[in-house]
Every structure is written in C-alpha cells, then in structure tokens.
C-alpha cells in the first residue's frame, strides 16, 4: 500500500486517567525503546487524524482507517465508547495497551498511540498489514498452496507466539481472523492482531477465565484450568485446517465444544494421503489433549517439519555492516531514530531488513542473542574477533540494555542512516512532535510524546 508505516526490562505502563506517577517516576532512568512513545493523550483525535473508511465494528465501537494529518501515514483506529464498557472492560483495555507496548516482534501488530476524549478511547495501530487480508482469505486467493507455504506461515505465527510466551503473555484467541498479511505477495509477512483477551501471567500460574472461539479453543480452557499452551492448541487447529480445508473438531455450536473436550480427531486418508508424516506428527504434538504433555510454542517452532521447509538464504552483510557502525550512545538521538523507524518507515522499506533479522533470529522469539549474532560473524572472522565485534555491537545497539537486540533496535541500527534521517523524515517527525503547530518543540510537547509525566 505504500503507507508510512533472559533479562527483561519492565515496560512503561500507560496510566489510567487520574493516576499520579509521583516523584519516583520523574527520577526513573530514561530508557530508549519504542514503548516510550505510546502514552495516553488527551483531546480531540480529529486534531491529529483525518477519518477515512470504516474497517469494521464491534460491541464497544468501530474500527476505522485514519490518516495522520501532518505525515499522511495510514493507521487503524479502534474506537471504544466509554459508556459501553464497565470497569473490568476498561482495565482489560489498558491491559491490552500495555501488552502491545511490551511486544516488539515482526509478526505482532504495532501499537502507535492511545487517545481519549470525553466519550471515547482510541487505540491507533499500524494499518499496512491489512492489505494482504486474513489468513484463509489469502490462502484461498493463491493459485496453488503447498506444505512449504503452510510451514512458512506457521513458522511466522509460532515465532510471534514464542515471543508472547517468553514475555509471559497468553493471547487466548488465536484464529485465522486474527492473523493478517502485510501484502498480497506469496511470501508476505504476517501479523498477529487483537490482544483484547490476552493476559500477562506469572510463572506456573494457571488461568481460569473461559475465553476463545469455537473450533480453536483448547479443551483445558473449557475446563477453566489452563496455561500458555492453549495458544499452541489453537495453532495446531489452524495448521490442520490449512492442510485439509476443514477443522479437526466439527459439528454445530455446542457439539463443537463437546468434540473438543473429547479431543479425538483423525486424518481422513482421502484428504491427507498427500500430506507428509512430518506435518501430521507436528499436528499430533500440538493437539495433545493433556496440555502438560503438549509441546511448547518453542518446541513447535523447532519441529523438523517447520525447519525443513524454512527458507535458508545466506545472510546479507550490508545490514550487519550497518549494525557494527551504529552509534547509540546519545539516547535522544537513538530515541529519535527508533521513533522514525517505528512510525515513518514503510513496510516495503523494512522488507529486506526483516528478512535478514529472521535469518539471524534462529529461535524466532523476536530477539537476537549474542550467541546468534556470533554465529553470523564466525562466517567471516575467528571466534575471538567475532565475540569482540558482537560485544561492541551490543554496547551500541542494545539501547534498552535488555541483553538482546530487539526487533526495533535491529531495524533502527541496520537501516541506511542517510535514508532513515533524510530531510523529509526529519520534517515529518518534527511535525508529529510539534503538536500545536507553532513551528517549535516545547519541553511539554517533547515530554508528552516521549512518555514522560509532567
């Protein structure tokens, strides 16, 4: 469409109206990360965005295409009417926002902004990914569909799920409607969307709320005693349907749930004769009824069927060279570059860098470890030199000091700096910072857009 577009830190939280951050937050160390730009902004959203076509509607409001007035960037706006939500729903909405702020993965939708006025909340997310359509719509539009294509799609989905689970986040409603593609190319990048039912959990914590969609809901969710592996079950159902065209647990309404509780399914020889045993074995491991025996998302990602069909192109060292020359000591400069790469770079511009990121990120969790990057440098240097170079890169690129190169950090540092910080981009960023349009960026405007409380 061409629109603009492990040690872990505790992410900045979006404050509810009336919450006071207190003096401790002011003294908190400033950390660079894409989440610092997502704050609850007051006032009329029409001052910043032009309303366009309706993309859908739900119980609490509608979803619209909107266009940022000063940059022309296209976004999706999820409107939530305050008079339609109860206290628990409001808490869930802020939970969704804070969840999306924490996630930084090429296969998970990116949250850009959050607004409120007297009547509504507005969640602003990236829009470009909608052009490719929903998962099954895209498969239907293809002239032919192979196991290799199915494996590539499932690898992307599982990569996003692995990232969520490493962050202790359970999606709880994975289904084809919540998996959208950036464009109509056969090898298009996909995005997992709609984290409205997601939940942050503690280690070894089981969940009890019955949420999900018939066909894709796991049997343990129906029994109200489950963990993150309910997402693996949903992925198994999606893979089953991708390969044969119908769900493993059919029926009408309540009958579907009864069949899921039983957990018995089959591979009809008429429909599965041409499907490999490796694919069937992965589905069996994902659709194991006892979730304690079911494989994890990481184990599914590492499965031979996924890895055997995974693309195996060589690394392009142009991006790696940019990594090694990136200078991230100046935090304000690093924050500006992350703002531009997150808010103003198009998906087409990111496409090549995204491919390189995925080649290096062997476990698919959306973060590059030192070991993964060392393996790249060992192709050109001895072990001592490779480790020295990687240590130097992490010192400059790991701006949030998470111990990994996160996706946004990679895109920011591996991009061509001259193109990233060209005159047009800097002007667009300036316009977005200059919220009152007076041609100057005040301290208050800078604090607001970078998430600092006044």
CA dihedral over 410, 413, 416, 417, signed as positive or negative: positive
CA dihedral over 306, 309, 310, 315, signed as positive or negative: positive
Question: pLDDT-derived band of residue 453, with 50, 70 and 90 as boundaries?
Answer: very low
Residue 321: Cβ-neighbour burial (10 angstroms; 0-12, 13-18, 19+): exposed
Is the pLDDT at 10 greater than 50, yes or no? no
Give the 3-state secondary structure of residue 63.
strand
Give the number of other Cβ atoms within 10 Å of residue 236's Cβ: 25
Question: pLDDT-derived band of residue 4, with 50, 70 and 90 as boundaries?
Answer: low
Q: Which residues contact 228 (CB under 8 A, 6 or more apart)?
A: 164, 165, 168, 170, 201, 296, 297
pLDDT digits (tens, 9 = 90+) for 254-271: 999 999 999 999 999 999
Question: pLDDT-derived band of residue 252, with 50, 70 and 90 as boundaries?
Answer: confident
Distance CA(203)–CA(233), nearest Å, equals 20
- Ordered domains of the chain (ranges, CATH): 40-129 (3.30.200.20), 131-310 (1.10.510.10), 317-421 (1.10.238.10)
Q: What is the mean pLDDT of residues 149-168?
A: 95
Cα 50 to the chain's mean position, in Å? Answer: 25
Most trustworthy range by pLDDT among 130-139, 254-263, 308-317: 254-263
The response to whether 318 counts as a known ligand-binding position is no
Question: pLDDT-derived band of residue 114, with 50, 70 and 90 as boundaries?
Answer: confident
Predicted model pTM? 0.81
Which residues are known to be catalytic? 173
Residue pair 72/4 in contact by the 8 Å Cβ criterion: yes
Mean pLDDT of the chain: 84
pLDDT digits (tens, 9 = 90+) for 20-41: 444 444 334 545 555 555 667 7
Distance CA(21)–CA(237), nearest Å, equals 44
Is the pLDDT at 18 greater than 70, yes or no? no
């Amino acid at each position: 469409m061409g629109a603009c577009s492990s040690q872990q830190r505790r992410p900045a939280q979006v404050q509810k109206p009336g919450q006071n951050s207190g003096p401790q937050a002011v003294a908190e160390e400033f950390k660079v990360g894409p989440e610092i730009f997502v704050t609850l902004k007051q006032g009329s959203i029409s001052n910043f965005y032009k309303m366009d076509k309706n993309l859908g509607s739900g119980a609490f409001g509608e979803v619209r295409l909107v266009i940022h007035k000063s940059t022309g960037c296209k976004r999706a706006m999820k409107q939530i009417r305050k008079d339609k939500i109860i206290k628990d729903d409001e808490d869930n909405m802020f939970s969704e926002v804070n969840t999306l702020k924490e996630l930084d993965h090429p296969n998970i939708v990116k949250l850009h902004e959050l607004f409120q006025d007297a009547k509504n909340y507005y969640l602003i997310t990236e829009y470009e990914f909608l052009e490719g359509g929903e998962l099954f719509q895209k498969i239907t539009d293809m002239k032919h569909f192979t196991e290799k294509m199915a494996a590539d799609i499932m690898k992307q989905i599982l990569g996003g799920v692995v990232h969520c689970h490493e962050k202790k986040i359970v999606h709880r409603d994975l289904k084809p409607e919540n998996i959208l593609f950036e464009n109509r190319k056969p090898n298009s990048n996909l995005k997992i969307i709609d984290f409205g039912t997601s939940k942050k959990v503690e280690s070894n914590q089981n969940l009890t709320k019955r949420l999900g969609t018939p066909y894709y809901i796991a049997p343990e969710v129906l029994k109200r005693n489950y963990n993150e592996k309910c997402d693996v079950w949903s992925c198994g159902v999606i893979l089953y349907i991708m390969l044969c065209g119908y769900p493993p647990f059919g029926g009408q309404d309540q009958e579907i749930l009864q069949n899921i509780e039983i957990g018995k399914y089959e591979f009809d020889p008429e429909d599965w004769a041409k499907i490999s045993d490796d694919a069937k074995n992965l589905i069996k491991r994902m659709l194991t009824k006892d979730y304690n025996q079911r494989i994890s998302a990481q184990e599914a990602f590492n499965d031979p069927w996924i890895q055997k069909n995974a693309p195996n192109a060589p690394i392009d060292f142009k991006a790696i060279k940019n990594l090694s020359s990136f200078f991230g000591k100046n935090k304000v400069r690093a924050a500006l570059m992350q703002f531009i790469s997150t808010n103003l770079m198009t998906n087409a511009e990111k496409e090549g860098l995204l491919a390189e990121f995925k080649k290096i990120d062997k476990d698919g969790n959306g973060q590059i470890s030192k070991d993964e990057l060392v393996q790249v440098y060992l192709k050109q240097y001895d072990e001592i030199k490779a480790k020295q170079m990687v240590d130097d890169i992490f010192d400059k690129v790991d701006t949030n000091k998470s111990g990994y190169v996160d996706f946004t950090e990679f895109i920011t540092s591996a991009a061509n700096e001259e193109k990233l910080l060209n005159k047009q981009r800097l002007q667009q960023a300036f316009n977005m910072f200059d919220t009152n349009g007076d041609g100057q960026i005040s301290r208050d405007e800078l604090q607001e857009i970078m998430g600092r409380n006044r």
